[in-house]
Chains A and B, each alone.
Chain A
């Protein structure tokens, strides 16, 4: 296989040289000549067998991707410009605008959902992610009880959103332990929260979600970060310890720079999740998103669910909303990715 790889690489180098020559001499329009050169090249029978095998391997994933990603997203863009009869319209965007300045079909202001999504995302990635980075490092250094701590921290994820969320919802209810603790400690809560629970008071509902999200988020990337930390050579830490390096030096000068590419990958994924993560608002609020708790992710999930139930008929509005948010998010993600790549280049161990 390596033999074939070398041949392929050699042939590609020739192709690149040819392509570069063409580009330099002529125009940039011949960038695709690399592929045509591939086709023209006479491959050995062994190489052709390898290609066939590779194509067979990628056949199902690529076909699945073409239908359920490319077609679905293209269709979503098209739906944004269609009315219910399939004709061209811009009314869906007007509805989106109305939902931002006033309220949507569920009586929720989209500006509020946007703000909430940003707040939850910024707290999650700006504060909780670095905290998780440090706590995972300490657990990886095998502090006393690390095995049981790690197991306990993953329990919410193991229980699943449905069970965990509904249990936590009961805990912040008027009859739950949090209210009992507040009462015991003499912490004054509003009458509304006292009678109906923290998630039913507009003043406490969203802060409650923020606190829950923060507590949950600390262990969010535990598995991937632990995997990365364990790959850092032990000798680095042993040498540093012998040289009298402090905890901070080991963490910030050795561990984090070593796993920087993992951190960048996680942050890049996080950049994409700003509007897709619903933070379990649907479960916390029994599908209502009321009392100022709505997020964009919740709105989009609710729209899909209502469509599946038949209570919402129009595909155009959610498609237009998605398109507007994609256009809005794309530059942020691209700039963020570029900045992360630049930072990655500058990090030295």
Chain B
């Protein structure tokens, strides 16, 4: 959509847009305040924070940001302590493995169903839609039991086996995207003797890269922030999000470390905010589902 042009906009609409601007500004303050509050308190001493958590720091202390890398810890089931860099490493490999397998899995399924008519394809498509739209509640304990019997608890393989479903929302987005990709180049290549792998990697994938990247970034943000998988399945492989959870529990037992916690929160979320800020347009223009009416 083009930039809003006020020259054709009726007076009442100008008032509406101004009202929205004011409303958005208020919401921006509400959404931004917790982060600003965390930054302010990360620069205070524990004593200063306890006395007045709302005031600005009198003498900003940046050493809490150094302490994040030295004092920020999480403890596994067996009592092993994990520092910041160990948790960062866990966050990174969990993210890379999960996003890669998940996006590949969804993309393979979506491409096969969108571009090939093979025996069973319609049934398979119906099953994917069924699985996405029918609520099966409370399967968590059964999944845990299966993971136990397959020795997947506290096993890194759980990430690419259990949490790499192709039957998810990414499929819905990718299916629509693959459907929209013209087949003319693929047909020409096929007539020239190209096989299916060549067509997929040299013709189709380059056309869907923006959508794949948008999905990958969105999933990466979710995986980076996911604490529940480590909480239940990978407690000996704590990521930063799970570390934030356990450290928080410690921090409020030992009141000294609350500003370090705030500093850790800021350090953890800044890479994600920067990543999103750089790729916002890409994500917003490629993450959609459903067609257009009319």
Contacts and interface: CB of A to CB of B under 8 A. Distances in A.
A50 interface: yes
A274 B89 CA distance: 35
A330 B8 contact: no
A94 B101 CA distance: 41
Mostly, the A contact residues are: helix
Interface stretch (A97-105, A138-146, A200-208): A138-146
Interface centre among A60, A158, A230, A269 (most CB of B within 10 A): A158
Interface string A232-265: 1010011001101011000000000111111111
Contacts of B16: 247
Interface string B155-177: 00000011011110100100000
A182 B19 CA distance: 26
B165 A65 contact: yes
Interface string A137-170: 0111111110111111111111111111011101
Nearest to A219: B31
B118 A51 contact: yes
B115 A1 contact: yes
Contact of A223 (B5, B153, B218): B218
Contacts of A276: 135, 137
Given A35-B119, A246-B13, A232 B141 contact: no
Interface stretch (A4-12, A18-26, A122-130, A189-197): A4-12
A55 interface: yes
Given A143-B20, A237-B1, A163 B244 contact: yes
Given A247-B17, A269-B169, A322-B139, A58 B35 contact: no
B20 A138 contact: yes
B108 A304 contact: no
Interface of A: 1-5, 8-9, 12, 35, 38-39, 49-51, 53-55, 57-58, 60-62, 64-65, 67-69, 71-73, 75-76, 79, 135, 138-145, 147-164, 166-168, 170-171, 175-177, 180, 215, 218, 222-224, 226-232, 234, 237-238, 241-242, 244, 246-247, 257-266, 268-269, 271-276, 283, 286, 296, 300-301, 303-305, 307-308, 315, 318-319, 321-323, 325-326, 329-330, 333, 337, 347-349
A143 to B, nearest CB: 6
Contacts of B206: none
Given A54-B112, A333-B134, A167 B166 contact: no
A172 B53 CA distance: 12
B280 interface: yes
Interface stretch (B57-65, B92-100, B225-233): B225-233
Given A64-B161, A159-B225, A241 B138 contact: no
Given A54-B121, A65-B131, A149-B28, A315 B111 contact: no
Contacts of A64: 105, 161, 164-166
A-B residue pairs, 4 tightest by C-beta: A322-B138, A160-B225, A227-B288, A61-B166
A315 B17 contact: no
A76 B112 contact: no
Nearest to A261: B290
A163 B117 CA distance: 46
Contact of A50 (B23, B196, B276): B196
A9 B117 contact: yes
A318 B140 CA distance: 9
Nearest to B117: A8
A159 B276 CA distance: 11
A57 B140 contact: no
A259 B5 contact: no
25 contacts: A1-B186, A50-B116, A64-B161, A76-B141, A142-B4, A143-B21, A153-B28, A155-B269, A157-B221, A223-B218, A226-B285, A232-B292, A234-B1, A241-B8, A261-B293, A265-B290, A269-B132, A271-B133, A274-B135, A283-B245, A301-B140, A308-B233, A322-B136, A333-B135, A348-B293
Interface centre among B24, B105, B283 (most CB of A within 10 A): B24
B183 A1 contact: yes
Contacts of A8: 117-118
B46 interface: no
A72 B35 contact: no
B38 A167 contact: yes
Contacts of B134: 272, 330, 333
B232 A304 contact: yes
